[in-house]
Amino acid sequence: MRIEVLIAGRGGQGILLLGHILGRAVAKYTNLYILGSEIYAAETRGGDSRVDLVIADREEEADFIKVMGADIAIVMHQLQLDAYSHLIKDGAVVFLDRSNVTSVPQRKWRVFLEPYTDIAEREFGTPRVANMVALGHLVRQTSLVPPEGVEEVIRETVPKDWVDVNIRAFRYFLSR
């Protein structure tokens, strides 16, 4: 088993945190091997943010740090969807933030299109947890990692004051 996960969006959307939490949860709460890498533009606002994860059950299959054909993807913005859709392979499970995505390419993906940002703003009062809403969605649909593991990781990773709202956002899709 070998899975590539791509997480992409604009700077400020919490992409790196999302990727880090997911990666960490896989590392700590599954028996899978994982390598992950981050890309972020130097610009303060709006540059690309991207996390690539390569997950495998045999160590030698966790063999590269860049996604070459993602099996699972979260894309939080149209710009990155345009830029990276060629990295997402046919048959992939793709989570798109409808709040920021306007047109979805015609590809053989299993697409989940939900307004993560709007949900975050509406339900939790801040767009900053849109990333956790999306993550919950992914965890629910793919069962790549146990949700409790993710929550553990959120607790160790996120600043104290933010843990609660992040966990609640994460549970949004899981609890429905």
Partner 1 sequence: MRVDYVTGNTAIALGSIAAGLRFYAGYPITPTSDIFEFLARELPKRGGYVVQFEDEIASINAAIGASWACAKSMTATSGPGFSLMVEALSLAVITETPVVVVYVMRTGPSTGVPTRSGQYDVLQATYGFHGGLVVPVLAPATPQEAFDLTVRAFNVSEKLRTPVVLLSDATIAHTYGRVVVREPGEVEVVERAKPSVPPEKYRPYDPGEGLVPPMACFGEGYNVLVESLTHDERGYYAPRSDVQRRLMWRLYRKIVESAPELFDYGAAYLDGCDVALVSYGSTSLSTLVAAKILRSEGYRACSIRLRTLFPVYEEGIRRLLNGVGKVFVVENNVGLYYRELRGVLRGSEVVSVPIIDLDLPQPREVVEVVKQWL
Partner 2 sequence: MGSATAVLRVPTGKYFINVVKERCKECGLCVFVCPTKVLDKGSERNSRGYRFAVPVRPEKCIGCRMCEYSCPDFAIFIEVGGG
- Under the criterion CB under 8 A, does residue 40 sit at the interface with partner 2? no
For the bound state, the minimum distance from the C-beta of residue 34 to partner 1, rounded and expressed in Å, comes to 5
What 3-state DSSP class applies to 99? coil
- Under the criterion CB under 8 A, does residue 89 sit at the interface with partner 1? no
- Under the criterion CB under 8 A, does residue 40 sit at the interface with partner 1? no
Instruction: Name which of 62 and 133 has its Cβ closer to partner 1.
Output: 62
Residue of the chain from 40, 46, 148, 164 that contacts partner 2 (CB under 8 A): 46
Residue of the chain from 1, 31, 43, 103 that contacts partner 2 (CB under 8 A): 43
- Maximum distance among all alpha carbons in the chain? 44
Question: Which residue, chain included where needed, has tokens 């939900």?
Answer: 114
- Under the criterion CB under 8 A, does residue 66 sit at the interface with partner 1? yes
Cα 163 to the center of its chain, rounded Å:
18
- Under the criterion CB under 8 A, does residue 15 sit at the interface with partner 1? no
Cβ neighbours for 82, distance < 8 A, ≥ 6 positions apart: none
Q: What is d(CA 34, CA 2) in angstroms, rounded to the nearest whole number?
A: 10
The secondary structure element, H or E, covering residue 164 is helix 160-174
Q: State the alpha helices, DSSP H only, in 7-115.
A: 15-29, 78-84
For the bound state, the minimum distance from the C-beta of residue 26 to partner 1, rounded and expressed in Å, comes to 7
Question: Which residue, chain included where needed, has tokens 């959120």?
Answer: 154
- Under the criterion CB under 8 A, does residue 78 sit at the interface with partner 1? no
- Under the criterion CB under 8 A, does residue 42 sit at the interface with partner 2? no
Burial class (CB in 10 A: 0-12, 13-18, 19+), 175: exposed
- Under the criterion CB under 8 A, does residue 23 sit at the interface with partner 1? yes
Positive or negative, the CA dihedral 100, 80, 116, 162 is: negative
- Under the criterion CB under 8 A, does residue 108 sit at the interface with partner 2? no
For the bound state, the minimum distance from the C-beta of residue 5 to partner 1, rounded and expressed in Å, comes to 12
Binding interface with partner 2 (CB under 8 A): 43-46
Binding interface with partner 1 (CB under 8 A): 20, 23-24, 26-28, 32-38, 59-60, 62-66, 68
